[in-house]
Each structure stands twice: as structure tokens, then as C-alpha cells.
Amino acid sequence: MDRFLWSSGLLEMNETLVIQQRGVRLYDGDEKAKLDVGVVLLSTHRLIWRDLKNHECCMAIPLSQIIFFEEQAAGIGKSAKIVIHLHPASPNKDPGPYQSSKFSYIKLSFKEHGQIEFYRRLSEEMTQKRWERTPVSQPIPTGTGSQVTVMSAWWSICVWSVWESLHLTPLPTSVPSSQAFEDLSKLMEKAKEMVELSRSIASKIKEKQGDITEDETIRFKSYLLSMGIANPVTRETHGSGTHYHMQLARQLGDMLLAPLEERGGMMALTEVYCLVNRARGMELLSPEDLVNACKVFESLKLPLRLRVFDSGVMVVQLQSHSEEEMIASALDNVSEKGSLTSEEFAKLLGLSVLLAKERLLLAEKMGHLCRDDSVEGLRFYPNLF
């Protein structure tokens, strides 16, 4: 076990994942290693093991260190194992979980089976020795948790182990076809090039703002939108203010007038989201699309506004319903009834309880109402002070 190096578990540029198997325990020679059960991963270059629960506990051995390996059949109460014999560690090897070991072999114990396929793939890799033909461009990091930036081509292979460490519904063990995974990897390579290009453009824009026309800026934003890249210049998400969003804003301007009137001039953004997407049926809007479209209402002089309350609740409201009017009418309602809770106010106006509460809070903030906060609920009274 002293051949293992600490690793971040992230794959290198030319390194590909071959197979992974969960439910594997490591043995130092014949003795159980002082580790829990984890996931073992085989890449074209290394054998990697990661703890299921604590995915920062991750270690690897280069495949070149393997002399030979053999199967060890399962027995009564014993899982099947693969015994791997290793070359001695080099004296200046990077740190790992074990300083020294009296054994020159390790075992992988397959508590959830999978040893047959793993053995087959390991044999293939050891025969092909792909690591010799495609050396990794940089030394494989001995991860201490300081992570790699998004800019470099690290594929995350912690998908399943991170997933399982969240203790959510366990994934079935059938792997998507390796062809699909390979195609996906190649596609991501190309996507990564686009990300890099967009960042270099962004840095040029930052340097000389004046030399890019507004049209070109809008074009750039729409490219980012298509690719799903965050706008690196202004750090606003995903190209808000593109033609697409302006078009959307106009559509919303038409579509929401009647529903807003019916609901007292205000609707929560989540309600708008459901309304609009149910109506569309397909080619739905993303939450961000909706937010970005609402942000341009004002600049397009549409009669709607996006508004964010102190609580973080976001609403679309009719421009015609001014704040003073709303507060004044809230005060009227409360005075008339003596006092009101959010639920009562909501019923009165045909608003949702959430928005009714926001209006009362707003009136309170402006000093027109005061509250009585008890276990029976939050009740508002006219502020007589």
C-alpha cells in the first residue's frame, strides 16, 4: 500500500476513464487497509481509489507500477479479489496514505461484485499500455484539495462517488455505453475550446472597451448564450440583454397583462414561470431566461416591472400599480378591519398569501403599519404613533 500517491482523482488531458466499480475495499498485502469501502477506477494511465463518503480521500497508482495481477476466488463470507503485485516505490515518491509496507502487493476486494469485468479491462489496459503512447501533458497532481481551474481540461470523474456520498438514491450499476461516454468526452473538448476563446475575447474587450461596437457586444453575448457560458466581462449571467431577451420581454408584456390584472397587479416570478411554460408546451424558458427578460422591461418601456422584495421574493408587477397606491390601499384595508393577517388580506384582495404578506411588510417598512407577532400568527395594525 505504500505505492499509492494522494490524488485529486481528476483525470489528465490524455487520460481516459475505462471502468469504475464501487464497493471495493483495499488490502495491504493480506491485511485490510485502514480505509472504508470505496470506488475503484481504472484509467488508461492509473488505478485510482476513492472513499465513498469522504471523496477528498483519494489515491492512485500509475499502471506502469504493476508487475502482474491475478484473480482470487470468492469464498464463504469472503468477496472475490484481484491481487496486484507492484514494483517497489521510488525513493522520492510523492506522499500517500502509507509511508511503508512490508508487502509488495495489494488486493482489491469486490464487495459488490464487478471483478470479472474489472479484471478484463485491467488486462486490456496492461496489454495495450496506452499510457506509454499518450503521455500526460502535465504531471498528474497529487491533490491536496487545491483545485484546478475550469480553464484546463480536467474531466471530473467523481460523479458517482460524490453522488453516492450524498446518500441519495443509489444509481443502478449499468454504465452508459462507452461509445457514448467517449463521444461525450470529445464533444466536451470542443466545447472547452469555445470557453477558452470566449475568455480571450472578453479580456481583449476589457482592455480596450471603445473598439468594439455595441452591435458586436450584443453578438458576443448571444454567442455566450448559445454555449451557456457566463459573461466574463460584466459577470452578468449568460448574455442578458440579447435580442432574444428583448423579444421575450415583449411577448411577456402582451401575455401577462390580463393575468396580472386578475391577481391584483402582482405575480410571483415562480407563478409567471409556470404560467408561461405551461402555455408554451415546448421550447420552454429557463428560469434565467425569464429573469433576464424581465430585467429589460423598463428599457423597452413596457408597462411591467421586475421587483425584488427584501425577503428575496421576486415579482412581476404592473407599472400602473404604484407603490404609494399599494401601501395606501393596504392601510385602508387594515384600518377598516381593525387588523389583518397575511391570510386574511390575501383573501380580501385575491392575492397569494406570499404576496399579501410582502405588501403588508412594505407598508410596515414605510411606517404605516405595525405588527403583533405571536405564536398565533403575524397580525398587522395601523400604526398610530
Partner 1 sequence: MHRRGVGAGAIAKKKLAEMSKQLETFKTHLEEFASKHKQEIRKNSQFRVQFQEMCATIGVDPLASGKGFWSEMLGVGDFYYELGVQIIEVCLALKHRNGGLITLDELHQRVLKGRGKFAQDVSQDDLVRAIKKLKAMGNGFGMIPVGGSYLVQSVPAELNMDHTVVLQLAEKKGYVTVSEIKESLKWETERAGHVLDHLLKEGLAWLDTQASGESQYWLPALFSELSSQDVTPEEANQMVP
Question: Rg (Cα) of the chain, in Å, rounded?
Answer: 30
Rule CB under 8 A: choose which of 223, 250, 362, 370 binds partner 1: 223
Residue 187 near residue 179, CB atoms below 8 Å: no
Rule CB under 8 A: choose which of 125, 164, 289, 364 binds partner 1: 289
Query: What does the CA dihedral 44, 50, 56, 62 come to, rounded to 10 degrees?
Result: -40
Q: Tell me if 164 contacts partner 1 by CB under 8 A.
A: no
Task: List binders of partner 1 among 189-218 (CB under 8 A).
Answer: 190-195, 197-198, 200-201, 204-205, 207-208, 210-212, 216
What is residue 61's DSSP assignment? Answer: E
Q: Tell me if 226 contacts partner 1 by CB under 8 A.
A: yes
How many residues touch partner 1 (CB under 8 A)? 85
Distance, C-alpha 323 to centroid of its chain: 37
Residue 378 near residue 341, CB atoms below 8 Å: yes
Rule CB under 8 A: choose which of 169, 214, 258, 384 binds partner 1: 169
Q: How far is the CB of 200 from partner 1 (least distance, A)?
A: 6
Q: How far is the CB of 267 from partner 1 (least distance, A)?
A: 12
Task: List binders of partner 1 among 256-275 (CB under 8 A).
Answer: 268-270, 273-274
Q: How far is the CB of 320 from partner 1 (least distance, A)?
A: 23
Q: Tell me if 251 contacts partner 1 by CB under 8 A.
A: no
What is residue 136's DSSP assignment? Answer: -
Between CA 279 and CA 285 the distance in angstroms is 11
Q: Give the nearer residue to partner 1 in terms of CB position, either 127 or 149.
A: 149
Rule CB under 8 A: choose which of 52, 59, 153, 252 binds partner 1: 153
Q: Tell me if 234 contacts partner 1 by CB under 8 A.
A: no
Q: Tell me if 300 contacts partner 1 by CB under 8 A.
A: no
Q: Tell me if 145 contacts partner 1 by CB under 8 A.
A: no
Q: Give the nearer residue to partner 1 in terms of CB position, either 64 or 200.
A: 200
Rule CB under 8 A: choose which of 54, 64, 156, 322 binds partner 1: 156
- Write out the H or E segment, with its range, that includes residue 202: helix 178-207
Between CA 96 and CA 48 the distance in angstroms is 12
Q: How far is the CB of 75 from partner 1 (least distance, A)?
A: 32
Q: How far is the CB of 164 from partner 1 (least distance, A)?
A: 11
Q: Give the nearer residue to partner 1 in terms of CB position, either 69 or 220.
A: 220
Rule CB under 8 A: choose which of 99, 176, 258, 324 binds partner 1: 176
Task: List binders of partner 1 among 122-141 (CB under 8 A).
Answer: none
3-state secondary structure at position 294: helix
Residue 82 near residue 119, CB atoms below 8 Å: yes
Residue with the three cell numbers 506502469: 64
Give the CB-side neighbour count of residue 131, counting CA atoms within 13 A. 23
Residues 6 or more apart whose CB falls under 8 angstroms from that of 101 comprise: 1, 2, 28, 29
Q: Tell me if 365 contacts partner 1 by CB under 8 A.
A: no
- Phi and psi torsions of 21, nearest 5°: -145, 130
178-207 and 214-227 helices, crossing angle to 10°: 160
Task: List binders of partner 1 among 336-355 (CB under 8 A).
Answer: 354
Between CA 349 and CA 363 the distance in angstroms is 15
Q: Give the nearer residue to partner 1 in terms of CB position, either 11 or 66.
A: 11
